[in-house]
Amino acid sequence: MKRLAILGASGHGKVVAECGELCGWQDICFFDDRWPELQLNGHWPVVGDTNELLRVCGDFGGVLVAIGNNDIRLAKLQLLIDAGATLPTLVHPSATVSRYSALGFGSVVLAGAVVNLDCQIGHGVIINTAATVDHDCTLGAGVHVSPGAHLAGGVSVGERSWIGIGSSVRQLVRVGVDVTIGAGAAVVADTPDACTLVGVPARVL
């Protein structure tokens, strides 16, 4: 039986769990630091906290971190790497990922999303529902491309950046490290690091 542990009992975690089921994982449970007060996340049990998962991660065929905060997600992934956990990728059956693209460990591609050819996707990346990443894009570790966001060809996104829901990035644009792009924004030029952009065209707040 394929056993999957998910760290982070949240709404996003439920989406990841269902994706796991659809990908053939048969025994799925959650770990969360609100345990033991939190015992259930949707249809799946919460059975321990981070420390417990680090202790038993070898009992699972795969471990994923389903935490939306990019910094925390990467920090938890590093703890799991150090503990020797197996960190798979998940691709929803309705998503399309080119065989010529590479997905880093611990990354998820959710329902209806598209990753076109010759993309390099780092570890711990979320490509959320119906998001698209077109040809020749590079996404650093811990990036989150929110539902319905679209990256045109040749876009580069730095580590831990968050591409907001319904936003778009013009072809060949470089999005810096630790950048937040607001909902519905249109990014048409390279961005600095560690900033927030909103509007059409997007401007730094």
Tokens of 186: 């249109």
Query: Contact at 8 Å (CB) between 21 and 2?
Result: no
Could you read off the pLDDT tens digit of each residue along the chain, which spans 205 residues? 699 999 999 999 999 999 999 999 999 999 999 999 999 999 999 999 999 999 999 999 999 999 999 999 999 999 999 999 999 999 999 999 999 999 999 999 999 999 999 999 999 999 999 999 999 999 999 999 999 999 999 999 999 999 999 999 999 999 999 999 999 999 999 999 999 999 999 999 9
Buried/exposed 99-138: b ≥16 CB within 10 Å, e otherwise: eebebbbbbbbbbbbbbbeebebbbbbbbbbbbbbbbbbb
Query: Contact at 8 Å (CB) between 95 and 114?
Result: yes
Query: Contact at 8 Å (CB) between 20 and 41?
Result: no
Domains belonging to the chain, first-starting first, are 3-87 (3.40.50.20), 89-197 (2.160.10.10)
Give me the active site residues, please.
135
pTM for the model stands at 0.96
Phi and psi at residue 129, in whole multiples of 5°?
-50, 125
Q: How many residues comprise the chain?
A: 205
